[in-house]
Structures are given as C-alpha cells and as structure tokens.
Amino acid sequence: MDWITRTVSMLLWYLRPLVKWFLRQTTRLCELQRVCYGEPAGAQRTLAVEQSLKLSRNKQISVILSNLDTQTNLSEQETKKFIEDSVNSIMKTKSIKPDLHRQFVSSMSACFKHMIGYRQIMHRVETLRCEAYDENKLDHEVQLLELWRLLQPNTDLDKRVTKQWQVIGFQGDDPKTDFRGMGMLGLQNLIYFAREYSSAAKHILSHSHHPKFGLFTALPSDTPSTSYSIIYISSVSAILSSIYLLFQLFYHLYIFCFSYLFIEFDKFWLEMEPRDIMEFNRIRDLFESNLRSQLEDSRTCFKLQLYIDTV
C-alpha cells in the first residue's frame, strides 16, 4: 500500500500545476484567491492558505514562508508591517489588483496574522517548557507561592520546604523537583487555571481525594504519592505541548486549551472509574487519542464547561 500512496502523491505533485492552470483559466482566480473566497473565515481558511503556500513552487512565496518561521518576537508594529509586505508581495507575484480584490487583501492579512500568532505562541510555549524551575530566582519563587495562595487561601505555609506542599499534590517537601519535565510552563499553566477558574480548580483538587477514584486514594500502598499538581504538570501540559508542536492545535488559544483539558481530563478520569493509579497511563493515552481525533476536524470548537460535579 505504501508504494501506491507514494505513486499517487507523485502523480498529484506533477499534475498540480496543470490543474491550477486550468482552474485559473476557467475562474480567472489564482488558488489563493479561490481559497480566500471559498473557505469560511477562521482556522479552516488559514490552514488552506498555508497549505497552498507550502505547495507553491514560486521562489518568492518560498522566501515569504521561510521568513514567516522566524517571526517569533515581533512587536505589534513590526507584525503589521510584515503582514502588509507579505500580502503585497503575493499580490504582485500573482498579478492581483488590490483595488479589485479588497476582500482578498483583508482575508490574506487575517490568515497571516493567525500564522504569525501561532508561531509566536509556539515559541513562547517551548521557551517556558525549557526554562527550568530555579529556587534562586525570586520571580520563580513568587509564582510558586502564588499557586499555594490560590489553592490554599486560608492556610499559611510553615516554611519554604514542608510536607504541606503534598496537600495540593506535590510529591515531596520541595515542589521544585516536580517541574523537571515541563519547567516553568507547568507552573504557569497551574497558576493561570487556579486564578481564572478558582472554583473549578478547587473542585478538581477535591476530586483527588475521592474515596474510590481519587488520585490519592487510588494509589497502591507501595506507590509514591502523586496527585493534582503532578498529574497535570506531567500529563495535561505534556499532552497539550506535544499536540501543539505537532500543529494539531493550530489556531486554538493555548492557555484556553490548557484550562479546557484540565477540566475535561478530570471528568474523563472519573468517568473511566479506574481500579487504581496503575491505569493512569492507559486512561491518559485514551484521552489524548480522543483529543487528536477531534482535532482532525478544523471545525472543532472547544467549549469550556465550568460546571463540575461534586463527587
């Protein structure tokens, strides 16, 4: 079957210019125009535009795409200029008259804004993931203490290193060791969720103590303690980051997706009624598989359900 797939792909590659030429002659529109006029605004249009740009054999468009991948730290003004220059270059290359195709200008500009925004978010996510937690950095320590205050507002920490951290799911007395996998990305994800969705965060924390399915109570007696913070740092953040870097969460806002997954994974865990924590990997993989299936459809729309059952 592989050779059939390769053969078909090769035929399509060679036939593509002929098909494009035929469609341009019959519609008087280039492929990018047909996409911008025919696809609905949003992720579906942007994905189609980027696919068209990637398949183009035009050298100027290849340069634009190459430059696009480097635009990760632009100011708002620099981003605006890059978009204008890119759209103008494409219009010149494709002989498109701006006065006659104003919709094309606005549609392409919106698509470039999405593409740049995605790359900027992806760059920021990867930078945070690679930034190790450092107890000698004041801002890191401040953020860690903020997480405690958000989840335990009525309880003071006795000291910096204490078993109290295990109340919110850290493995040991010093939570810094639990950020090895996701770095500052894991901590900032948790802080955002606990701050913006305080009630949901506290409900999910209480679920870890469920008498039958809780992540604390589901532990075999010889298994190290692991719960709320560790589960979501090592799993939810990792699932989201891996999918994001695979371009499957292309234009869904990252921090919203983390909050969504935080709630949905907790609900999925309880619905699966696990026998013990040893089922965690199986349930996590199933959850990720279901998520990937949903994301194959660019029309997927995530809705954050803030109602969480008290169990």
DSSP secondary structure of 227-244:
-HHHHIIIIIHHHHHHHH
d(CA 229, CA 216): 12
DSSP secondary structure code for residue 225 in this structure: P
Mean pLDDT of 51-59: 91
User: Closest by alpha carbon to 237, among 195, 290, 179, 189?
Assistant: 189
Other Cβ atoms less than 10 A from the Cβ of 22: the count is 10
Q: What pLDDT was estimated at residue 221?
A: 35
Per-residue pLDDT of 157-211, as tens digits, reads 999 999 988 888 787 789 888 887 778 988 888 888 888 878 877 777 766 655 5
User: Mean pLDDT in the chain?
Assistant: 78
Does position 43 have pLDDT exceeding 70, yes or no? yes
In sequence order, which residues have a C-beta less than 8 Å from that of residue 219 and are 6 or more positions away? 225, 226, 276, 277
d(CA 270, CA 280): 11
In sequence order, which residues have a C-beta less than 8 Å from that of residue 233 and are 6 or more positions away? 178, 179, 181, 182, 186, 187, 189, 190
